[in-house]
Amino acid sequence: MTKNKDTNSTSQIHFPVMSDNVLAILDPKQGETYLDLTAGYGGHANQVLERTLVSNQSVLVDRDQMAIDRLRNKFLGSGVQLIHKDFLTAAKELLEQKRTFDIVLADLGVSSPHLNTASRGFSFRFEAPLDMRMDQRQELTAGTIVNDYPQKELEVILRNYGEEPKARQIAKLLVDNRPIETTTKLASVVAQAWPGYSKVHPATRTFQALRIAVNDELRLVKEVLPHLVDSLSPGGRLAIITFHSLEDRIVKQYFSEIAGDRYDTDMRLLTKKPILPSQDEIVLNPRSRSAKLRAVAKIKNKKKGDA
Ligand SMILES: C[S@@+](CC[C@H](N)C(=O)[O-])C[C@H]1O[C@@H](n2cnc3c(N)ncnc32)[C@H](O)[C@@H]1O
């Protein structure tokens, strides 16, 4: 296996987020099986598989071709199975095959290589076409949403997924300034709604909103959670890392529904409150600052009538 800190041609350094906490909560043991739903560049996967010591019953999923190519190189000859699909489709297929896992992890959102690869259009730091697709086989791009969607629909996307206070004004600006073909033009149009801004660039919320809409992120998280619980072996652990309040709310509510103060459940909450990154990690990897880790476990050998 390779080292934790990963370098590649499109980003400088890749740090798996909150990796000490992830290992502490997932507690991988020799011989256990692992399902990584957002394997990305294999940082967490590498650390988990180094502890389970077997890979041939484990599965790494990602919907990004770049990530899959990278995973293929990294885990060549290890026997680990790679799936190039969105995690909802992958989780359903694995369940149909009656596969279960001792350890399941989803580290949601985009990867640093997404943000640092100019041509993917995720960031307004670089001039690029408005793309933002994690899976480049998909048709819908951010460009289509910005240039073709009705103003009202844009407003809803900006408000719901970006929590943008000026959603209505920005939606109108977008429609009035069509065509908007590049990341930098989009950022400058959005900035017109926030003259004299300081600190955070006002386009940050718009970019988040568009990315969530392009990749249908919230629906996929919401729908995959029950399948992940079904995929856990008795004694299995499931951890999810989120990066914004919208997805964290979904995970928090679902975990408390299935593992909160109930007596008729075989699930146990491992995190009453979310685990947050340390200050040291935030300094080393600023992207980790909004991360929240939540986890549940499936109770082993729960007998009928057990509380
Ligand atoms: C934050 S990165 C994961 C990094 C990884 N944990 C590591 O240590 O290298 C998130 C990855 O999840 C993938 N991803 C996001 N949503 C997905 C989905 N619905 N289905 C499959 N992959 C997804 C992205 O393409 C990206 O590579």
Q: Please answer whether residues 86 and 219 qualify as being in contact, where contact means their C-beta atoms are separated by less than 8 angstroms.
A: no
pLDDT tops 90 at residue 88: yes
pLDDT of residue 264: 82
Report the distance separating Cα 222 and Cα 218, nearest Å. Answer: 6
Tell how far the Cα of 36 is from the centroid of ligand 1, in angstroms: 9
Residues 193-247: tens digit of each pLDDT: 999 887 789 999 999 999 999 999 999 999 999 999 999 999 999 999 999 999 9
* pLDDT at res. 303: 57
Average pLDDT for the chain:
93
β-bridge pairing 59-61 and 81-83: parallel
Q: How far is the CA of 105 from the centre of ligand 1 (A)?
A: 10
Alpha-carbon torsion, ordered 232, 237, 242, 247, to 10 deg: 40
- Report in angstroms the alpha-carbon separations of 5 from 52, 64, 155, 184, 280: 20, 20, 40, 31, 16
Q: Give me the sheet containing 267-269, strands edge to edge.
A: 81-83, 59-61, 34-36, 101-107, 232-242, 292-298, 267-269
Residue having the nearest C-alpha atom to atom 25 of ligand 1? 64
Q: Is the pLDDT of residue 95 over 90?
A: yes
Rounded (10°) angle between helices 203-215 and 151-162: 100
Mean pLDDT of 258-265: 82
- Rounded to whole angstroms, the Cα distance separating 105 from 307 reads 27
- Say if residue 288's pLDDT is above 80: yes
Closest CA to 62 of 168, 7, 134, 12: 134
Domains parsed from the chain with CATH numbers: 19-113+218-298 (3.40.50.150), 134-216 (1.10.150.170)
| Helix axes 217-230 and 203-215, enclosed angle (nearest 10) | 50
pLDDT tops 50 at residue 7: no
d(CA 66, CA 116): 13
Report the predicted TM-score, pTM, of the whole model to 2 decimal places.
0.93
- What pLDDT sits at residue 8? 39
pLDDT of residue 106: 98
pLDDT at 265 over 50: yes
∠ CA 217-224-110, rounded to 5°: 35
Q: Which atom of ligand 1 is nearest to the CA of 216?
A: 19
Mutational pocket test of ligand 1: of 4, 47, 63, 65, the residue with most ligand atoms within 8 Å of the beta carbon:
63
Query: Ligand 1 centroid to 49 CA: how many Å?
Result: 17
Query: In the structure encoding, which two tokens stand for residue 24, read together?
Result: 């502490």
Do 42 and 20 touch, CB atoms closer than 8 A? no
The tens digit of pLDDT for each residue in 126-167 reads 999 999 999 999 999 999 999 999 999 999 999 999 999 999
CA distances from 15 to 45, 113, 179, 265, 305 (A): 12, 11, 37, 35, 44
Does position 81 have pLDDT exceeding 60, yes or no? yes
- Tell which atom from ligand 1 comes closest to the C-alpha of 113: 27
